Amino acid sequence: MRMHYIDSWSFIIFMIFYSLIYRTYIDGLRLVSKGVIDKADIWKMFYNGRRFQNFKELYFK
């Protein structure tokens, strides 16, 4: 049986998509459900390091 692996470029693209787009959206939805941010502010977390400003609220509260 032959194994088919993904190439390194595909892996890098998937990791960038996961860390920048998917995690930002999922973390934003969690912050909205906790009442920390508004739903319109989810994509503002993408830039200026706002994901890290809310790290304590996301994972420790």
Q: Is there a contact between 51 and 24 (Cβ–Cβ < 8 Å)?
A: yes
Q: Is there a contact between 32 and 58 (Cβ–Cβ < 8 Å)?
A: no
Beta strands in the chain (DSSP E): none
The pLDDT value recorded for residue 17 is: 92
The pLDDT value recorded for residue 60 is: 83
- What does the pLDDT profile of the chain (61 residues) look like in tens digits? 777 888 999 999 999 999 888 988 898 899 999 998 898 888 888 776 777 788 888 888 7
The pLDDT value recorded for residue 40 is: 87
pTM: 0.72
Return the domain boundaries, the chain.
8-59
